[in-house]
Amino acid sequence: MTPWQIFIQEVQLHLKALRAANCADPYFRGHACEDWQLLPSLSREWNNPRFNANKEKRLFWEFRMKGSHLLPPGISEWTTLYYMQHYGLPTRLLDWTTCLATAVYFAISDNPTSPCVWILDPYQLNSLTIGREISNLNASFQKDYLDFLSHKIPGAIAADGDSSIHRIHSQRGAFTVHADLALPLNKFAPDALKRFKIPVDAIDDARLFLELAGTNAFSIFPDLVGLAKEIRCKELS
């Protein structure tokens, strides 16, 4: 078998084991480097001595107030956070997907050095964290975002994304929401996670897999930015 076929076989065996453990819809996340930790973007800011909880709240309120005319009316605090993540502000959210092809795309699309795909059992994570399933933060989580900041839970929780946001819908997005910004998810819940390396000599086959699956920049980013990136990749590379 080729290195790519071995990767797919190993993933399939793990997914079969997850289904047997009543996890039919795991989360996937692609990394271009296998050494990257599973931490949200806000973790990098948290190490800045000038950053604190008040600054985190200020980011939220500035985005919510100054962008109110650009955001859908009446959205929840959690959906506001999804939009912040969507437009590049640091948050406690770490992006996942329920689609393997999407994770592979992110693992190999930008100069990968040692690409890999993480697979998470979200049910096992939430059982470890809060003892119950959360399928949607807006519907299921008892606390709004600002309350969550003062509501101490260990580690992180898993939650489905808001499909009313186009990119989340297209990417079949899901999230982990991190209460502890210093503790990587792979350190907090190692039994709920498994990492699968994509060998460098499998990248060409992985790109063919994405082409056959119809997964590209425009399918991942369904807007003019994604379209321009896809045309550039197809016609100029």
Other beta carbons within 10 angstroms of residue 94's beta carbon come to: 24
pLDDT tens for each residue of 74-100:
888 999 999 999 889 999 999 999 999
Question: Comparing 26-40, 113-127, 137-151, which segment has the lowest mean pLDDT?
Answer: 137-151
CA–CA separation, 63 vs 16, rounded Å?
42
CA–CA separation, 90 vs 233, rounded Å?
28
What residue ranges in the chain does DSSP mark as E strands? 27-31, 93-97, 116-120, 156-160, 173-178, 193-197
pLDDT tens for each residue of 44-61:
887 777 777 788 889 999
H/E stretch holding 156 reads: strand 156-160
pLDDT tens for each residue of 33-47:
999 999 999 998 877
pLDDT tens for each residue of 208-225:
999 999 999 898 988 888
pLDDT of residue 237: 67
CA–CA separation, 110 vs 70, rounded Å?
30
CA–CA separation, 199 vs 116, rounded Å?
8
Q: What's the token pair of residue 40?
A: 């949200």
pTM: 0.92
